[in-house]
């Protein structure tokens, strides 16, 4: 059973929806031309497998100057390079056996400078998509990956928004409402292409301006991140997924 739609597939579908299109990072297949162009337009990019790998294989590339780049792997290994061709050679040395994409880097960081993202779980009940729960994932200080299998820490969304970002109650409410609207729009779009699936997990980032970015949409997402990060949310998702049709 498939557990993920290809990330390129996500992008193509979500770009067709006027609601979700502004929230999709620029994404292309990995080759030297695309890598060079992306690093010209963005201060950093993520290079990652096109399919699911539970955080494995993800690489971050930062443009430090006109002719200097830093490569950081999911395992915490760092190297410096003078050209994008050297960067690509390093990526090829360390990547796992998957087809790769290069994606616009999103500054989704807590006030302490840790990378984070949010998993939103949605289920279809009575023909309507509903948000069953959300949970945060925070990378450790030295890591670029938030996934629990790669050392990330699951936490409640409240902790992310309040302690991690310093949101006040009204700001937290508004952000959760925005997340629900964007994620509902995303799964409506994805479900037209995959109508038999009755639940999805949407991974989001929030940049320094408070803009929401959709990283990917997972089919039949696992619930362990909820169990380890927010137990009440875990049980609420379990309850709602039983009603999913």
- Model confidence at 90: pLDDT above 70: yes
Task: Judge whether 141 and 113 are in contact, CB under 8 Å.
Answer: yes
What the block records as the tokens of 156 is 């409640």
Task: Judge whether 130 and 37 are in contact, CB under 8 Å.
Answer: no
- Model confidence at 231: pLDDT above 90: yes
Output the pLDDT for position 120: 97
How confident is the model over 126-143, as a mean pLDDT?
A: 92
Residue with tokens 């963005």: 42
The CATH classification number of 7-24+108-241 equals 3.30.470.20
Sheet hosting strand 128-138, strand order edge to edge: 153-156, 128-138, 116-125, 199-206, 212-219
d(CA 124, CA 221): 14
What the block records as the tokens of 68 is 């200097």
d(CA 40, CA 66): 9
Average pLDDT of every residue of the chain: 91
Q: Report the greatest alpha carbon distance in the chain.
A: 56
Q: Where are the domains of the chain?
A: 7-24+108-241, 27-104
How confident is the model over 76-100, as a mean pLDDT?
A: 93
Calculate what percentage of the chain has a pLDDT beyond 90. 75
How confident is the model over 193-204, as a mean pLDDT?
A: 92
Output the pLDDT for position 9: 86
d(CA 156, CA 37): 37
Output the pLDDT for position 141: 83
d(CA 122, CA 72): 32
Q: pLDDT digits over 5-36, tens only?
A: 688 988 999 999 999 999 999 999 999 999 99
Q: Which of 47-56, 92-101, 136-145 has the lowest mean pLDDT?
A: 47-56
Residue with tokens 């929401």: 212
What angle do helix axes 7-14 and 169-193 make, rounded to 10 degrees? 100
Q: Which of 41-55, 141-155, 213-227 has the lowest mean pLDDT?
A: 141-155
Q: Which residues pair with 219 in a beta bridge?
A: 200
Calculate what percentage of the chain has a pLDDT beyond 70. 95
Output the pLDDT for position 2: 43
The DSSP code for 17 is S
Output the pLDDT for position 121: 97
Q: What does pTM read for this prediction? A: 0.91
Where residue 102 falls among pLDDT bands split at 50, 70, 90? very high
């Amino acid at each position: 059973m498939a557990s993920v739609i290809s990330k390129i597939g996500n992008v193509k579908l979500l770009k067709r929806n006027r609601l979700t299109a502004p929230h999709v990072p620029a994404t292309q297949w990995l080759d030297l031309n695309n890598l060079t162009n992306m690093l010209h337009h963005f201060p950093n990019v993520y290079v990652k497998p096109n399919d699911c790998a539970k955080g494995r294989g993800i690489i971050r590339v930062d443009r430090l100057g006109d002719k200097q780049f830093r490569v950081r792997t999911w395992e915490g290994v760092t190297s410096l390079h003078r050209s994008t061709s050297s960067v690509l050679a390093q990526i090829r040395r360390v990547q796992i056996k998957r087809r790769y994409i290069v994606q616009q880097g999103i500054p989704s960081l807590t006030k302490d400078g840790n990378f984070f993202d949010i998993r939103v779980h949605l289920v279809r009940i009575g023909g309507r998509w509903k948000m069953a729960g959300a949970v945060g994932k925070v990378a450790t200080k030295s890591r670029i990956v938030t996934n629990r299998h790669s050392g990330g820490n699951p936490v409640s969304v409240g902790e992310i928004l309040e302690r991690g970002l310093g949101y006040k109650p009204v700001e937290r409410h508004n952000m959760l409402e925005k997340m629900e609207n964007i994620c509902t729009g995303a799964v409506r779009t994805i479900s037209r292409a995959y109508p038999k699936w009755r639940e999805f997990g949407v991974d989001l980032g929030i940049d320094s301006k408070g803009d929401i970015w959709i990283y990917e949409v997972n089919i039949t997402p696992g619930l362990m991140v909820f169990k380890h990060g927010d137990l009440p949310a875990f049980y609420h998702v379990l309850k709602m997924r039983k009603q999913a049709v």
